[in-house]
Structure 1
Amino acid sequence: MSEFRQDPTTREWVLLAPERAKRPEDFPQHQRPMAPAWDPDCPFCPGNEQRTPEEETFRIGTHAGWQVRVVTNKYPALTPTGSLTRRHQGALFTRMDGVGIHEVSIETPDHARPLAEMEAVEVENVLVAYRTRYNALRHDPRLKIILIFRNQGKGAGTSLAHPHSQLIATPLVPPPIRRKHDVARAYYDDTGRCIYCDLREAEIAAGERLVFQSEHFTVLQPFAPQAPYETWILPNRHVAAFGDVADEELSDLAVVLRDTLRALTAQLQGLDFNYVIQTAPVGEAHLNYYLWHVQIVPRLTTPAGFELGSGISISTALPEETARLLRAQVRQRRLETED
């Protein structure tokens, strides 16, 4: 039987309708064609650096032997110049220049090496680039939110196969993000506690949606997922802003993120997904009521008329079942590593 569930962190409803799909282990799987380690037509491959914008904002490694590069987006959604003045036309229509920052993190020189297949130190380099750019931009008084995200696969919106992620910083906080913080603030006002920390501890105690834990992080399937196999990575230490993650936590996150993506990839061959680092707005890093975290959303289904009309997502798998399957994948991967 289908079931409505409410996400405690947003107060939004989702509909779990597992009878609309096969068993959660039987989602369609698609083998991706093998890609070369170097593509002469790829602007992100070594030797093609002149095909990306000259403004390189961060690099690990030498110019000729780089490991990670961060460059401005060649086709940016936002530009760093313009006015922040809001222009009103009558009582209803408001405009503002598309001011902001749009960068690309080229995660590896290897054209065919996604995060799930990297060594932990390679993933850590990517995370170091994220944190470095986040902390550089958080001091720009124009910027209010810094979003770091990754689109993998055409179903997730990517246009280039080379492993990369993006950063977009905007001069306003979008309403969906503000609502998440409003819910967290109201919970803190009522209880004096962080809703995300309480949720993490409740999921650990229940165990049924828990995937695995490390010293610094907890991986789980949320109670009310927007999509099958949606996965959250929550810090065990209360920190509101991603930029304030400690070095030892970043090293641990590299292993946790890679192992989570490996488990998802093993379970869902040909996986298209998005992940987003959800973090506090700029200037609100001191918040006691918000916890930064990683949200991974596989693209296994396509929103249709009901979702668009109602705003209610439909998930065709129970998170308790997907957590069980991912736990098995994590155990299997670890056994293979030990052997």
Structure 2
Amino acid sequence: MSELRLNPATGDWVLVASERGKRPHAYREHSETPRASEYDKSCPFCPGNKDETAHFEVPLPDGGLVRVLPNKFPAVSAGVIPKPNASLFERHMPAGGCHDVVLDNPRHNFRFAEGREADLRAVVQAWRERYRQLASDSHTRHVVIFKNYGPRAGSSLPHPHSQIVSLPVLPSQVRLRVETAMNVSNTLGRCVFCCMLEHEREAGVRVIESNESFTAFVPYAAFSPFSIWILPHRHCCDFSRLEDHEMVELSQILHSTLVRLYNSLGNPDYNLVIRSAVPATVGEDYFHWYISVVPRLQKAAGFELGTGMFINTSLPEEDAAYLREH
């Protein structure tokens, strides 16, 4: 029988209808992405093809570099002051902000799941440092870090990269999540994410793995098959406050999580998002930053567009058990 499940931290209801889905191993049939070459002379991100000036660079263990570059086709414009007009029905303002590309690795066919944990750690360091820079701008109200891996996840270029965007407004989805977390936290008397984390670790059935600073689990109300959250044990709303020892442990558990997805689902396309908040914009006590990894195994259609509710055709408990085995 189908079941409606609520995520208390986000306020989202999810329709879990596992009888509509397929067994975990069957997802492999549709998720394999062809392997690219190590170097592509037509790729603008491969070494030597374009010599762009980077915001900064982080060394890789093998001598290469993780590079943070301005996006050639930015969604927002750097150096623009975002001053809104006074209109009610045609309210607008310049889209000021920064849109960066993070070149995760110089190798054109590099995959996090096949690389070393130290390779991923250099990328996490680049994310943190650039986030700190962007969040310090007085016009910044939100910063989002994301990685679209594979065409099903929206990647337009095969070279391994992630993106960072700063915005002068707080997106409605983020605002609603913060408000929901604030309301539930006030009812509980403490952070709802911290309470959820304690519950998941005690229950254990949806936990994939843990270390001293982080836990990776499939949420009780995951909105799609094999969706994963990675939560820090220390309460903090702001990713930029990630400490050095936490950066090491985050890299370890994120790398292990991506390896598990790779081994169990056959290199699926996925979206990775760091959900964080700029402290000056939201209440620090109510939000808790985390990483969301969503394999693109099913498509949203009319029901999702018409209701804002997702149908998960897989049981989170079974997904977590399958990932633990790999």
1:140-219 to structure 2, matched below 5 A, reads 140-219=137-216
Distance (Å, rounded) in 1 between the aligned partners of 2:66 and 2:258: 19
Which residue in 1 is equivalent to 2:312?
Answer: 315
Which residue in 2 is equivalent to 1:328?
Answer: 325
The reply to whether residue 29 of structure 1 matches residue 69 of structure 2 is no
- Structure 1 gap ranges (5+): 330-339
Partner of 1:211, secondary structure, is: strand
Distance (Å, rounded) in 1 between the aligned partners of 2:267 and 2:118: 24
CA contact (8 A) 1:241 1:285 kept: no
Query: Where has structure 1 moved over 6 Å in runs of 4 or more?
Result: none
CA contact (8 A) 2:32 2:268 kept: no
The reply to whether residue 304 of structure 1 matches residue 304 of structure 2 is no
Distance (Å, rounded) in 2 between the aligned partners of 1:157 and 1:145: 22
Partner of 2:146, secondary structure, is: strand
Partner of 2:79, secondary structure, is: coil
Count of paired positions: 323
Summarize deviations over 1:49-85 as a string: whole Å, max 9, x none.
33xxx441011249xx642000000000111133422
Partner of 2:102, secondary structure, is: strand
Q: Which moved more, 1:33-42 or 1:204-213?
A: 33-42
Shift of 1:86: 1.7
Shift of 1:160: 0.7
Distance (Å, rounded) in 2 between the aligned partners of 1:170 and 1:303: 26
Shift of 1:153: 0.5
- AA at the equivalent of 1:42: C
1:51-66 to structure 2, matched below 5 A, reads 54-61=52-59, 66=64
- AA at the equivalent of 1:169: S
Partner of 1:93, secondary structure, is: coil
CA RMSD of aligned residues (A): 1.6
CA contact (8 A) 1:277 1:293 kept: yes
Which residue in 2 is equivalent to 1:49?
Answer: 50
The reply to whether residue 283 of structure 1 matches residue 280 of structure 2 is yes
TM-score under structure 2 length normalisation: 0.95
Partner of 1:129, secondary structure, is: helix
Distance (Å, rounded) in 2 between the aligned partners of 1:325 and 1:259: 14
Candidates 221, 226, 239, aligned match of 1:224: 221
The reply to whether residue 274 of structure 1 matches residue 271 of structure 2 is yes
Aligned sequence identity (%): 38
Which residue in 2 is equivalent to 1:78?
Answer: 76
CA contact (8 A) 1:138 1:282 kept: no
TM-score under structure 1 length normalisation: 0.91
Shift of 1:47: 1.1
Which residue in 1 is equivalent to 2:231?
Answer: 234
CA contact (8 A) 2:58 2:125 kept: no
Partner of 2:35, secondary structure, is: coil
